[in-house]
A = this chain, B = another copy of it.
Amino acid sequence: MKIAILPGDGIGPEITAQAVKVLDALGEKFETETADVGGAGYAAHGHPLPAHTLALAKEADAVLFGAVGDFKYDNLERALRPEQAILGLRKELGLFANLRPAILYPELAGASTLKPEVVSGLDILIVRELTGDIYFGKPRGVRECPDGPFKGQREGFDTMRYAEGEIRRIAHVAFQAARKRGKRVTSVDKANVLETFQFWRDVMIDVHKEYPDIELDHMYVDNAAMQLVRAPKKFDVVVTGNMFGDILSDAAAMLTGSIGMLPSASLDANNKGLYEPSHGSAPDIAGQGVANPLATILSAAMMLRFSLDRAEQADRIENAVKSVLAQGLRTPDIYEQGTTRVGTSQMGDAVVRALA
C-alpha cells in the first residue's frame, strides 16, 4: 500500500506531518512518498501540479493532501495558481465523489455561531459531485456577445452540463452512504430554472428505484441554503452538483464553528481517493505551530476506511481524536475557557498517545 503525501502550502506541511505521525503509530508500515503541490509545486518546478507529482498521485493507492494557496501566488495567471493543482488532481484521477461530513463534536458545541439546540449533535454528510458541472464544462471563455441587447460587447461565459452517467454514479454513492446512516437523501438542485438540474432530478428519481429502503427528497438550492441555517439537523445525506456542493458544503462546515475538525474524501470509481482537511491553507498562521491538525488526521482515518480497507484502524484514529477532545486539549481555533491550549505538534502527539 503506497500513500502519496502532498503537503502543499501554508499550514499544509505542519498538519500533514501530524497525520503521518499518527499513521506511523498504527503499528503497520505504509509506504509513503512526498511531493510538492500548489504554490510549493510552482516554486520548485514551475507548475502547481508538477508532472512527477501527478504521476505519483496516479500510481499511489491513496493521496493525503494538506492544503494549497498563499498570498504570494495571488497574482500569478490563473493556470499557474495553486488551486489549479486540486482541480487538476480531481480531473486527472477521476475523483468524482466528494464526501464531506459536517459533524459537531459535543465538546465543541460552543464554537458554533448557531444556538446549541440548533446544532448540537449535528451529523450530516454532503456528497458533492466533483468532476462535472460548470467547473469543467466547455465551451467557456470571454468572447464577443453574439446576440441580445449587449450584442457586440465582450462577455464571459461558461457551460454547465451533466451527462446521465455522471449523475447516476454520484446518486449511487449518495444512496449507498445513506444506507450506512440515517437512510435519507436530499438531492439539491435548481430544477425550476436549470435544464441541467431538471435532468439531474429525473435521473435521481430513476436511480432511487434501486434503493427502496432509502427515502429521497428534492430541494431547491436556495431553500437548502435556508434550511441549513434554520434546521440543519433535519438533513442526513445531501447530494448535489459540483457548484452547489462547493457552496453548501462550506456553509454546512461553518455551521459547526470548528472547520479545523472536518475531513473530506474525494473518491474515484474504484475507491481510490484523495483525502484532505475541509479548511484551507491559512497562510496567516503558517509556521507558527498553532494550526489544528485534527481535520487532516481525520482525513487519514477516512483514507484508511475508504481506500486502504482498514476500517478498524480508522475507528482507532477517530476514537483517539474523541479522546483528546474529552481530555480537554484544544488548538487555538477551538480553544474555550476551561480547556487546555496546545499547539499543532502537541495535538498530534496526544492523538498518538490516545491510540495506545
Q: Which of B87, B115, B137, B156 contacts A200, CB < 8 Å?
A: B156
Question: How near does chain B come to A200, taking the closest CB pair, in angstroms?
Answer: 7
Chain B contacts for A244, CB-based, 8 A: 247
The distance in angstroms between the C-alpha atoms of A14 and B242, with both chains bound, is 40
Among residues of B, the one whose C-beta sits closest to the C-beta of A82 is B192
Q: Which of B142, B150, B254 contacts A166, CB < 8 Å?
A: B150
The distance in angstroms between the C-alpha atoms of A150 and B269, with both chains bound, is 14
The distance in angstroms between the C-alpha atoms of A152 and B272, with both chains bound, is 27
A177-197 with Cβ < 8 A to chain B: 190, 192-197
Interface of A is mostly: helix
Question: How near does chain B come to A211, taking the closest CB pair, in angstroms?
Answer: 21
> At the interface, yes or no: A145 with Cβ under 8 Å from chain B?
yes
Number of identical protomers = 2
Category for how many chain A residues contact B = 35 or more
Chain B contacts for A248, CB-based, 8 A: 225
Are the C-beta atoms of A226 and B254 separated by less than 8 Å? Answer: yes
Among residues of B, the one whose C-beta sits closest to the C-beta of A140 is B195
- Indicate with 1 or 0, residue by residue over A213-252, a CB within 8 angstroms of chain B CB atoms: 0000000011101101111000000000001101111110
> At the interface, yes or no: A319 with Cβ under 8 Å from chain B?
no
A249-285 with Cβ < 8 A to chain B: 249-251, 253-255, 257, 259
The distance in angstroms between the C-alpha atoms of A243 and B197, with both chains bound, is 13
Among residues of B, the one whose C-beta sits closest to the C-beta of A196 is B156
- Indicate with 1 or 0, residue by residue over A152-170, a CB within 8 angstroms of chain B CB atoms: 0111111111111110000
Q: Which 8 A-B pairs have the closest CB atoms?
A: A156-B199, A150-B163, A156-B196, A157-B161, A155-B163, A225-B251, A226-B254, A222-B250
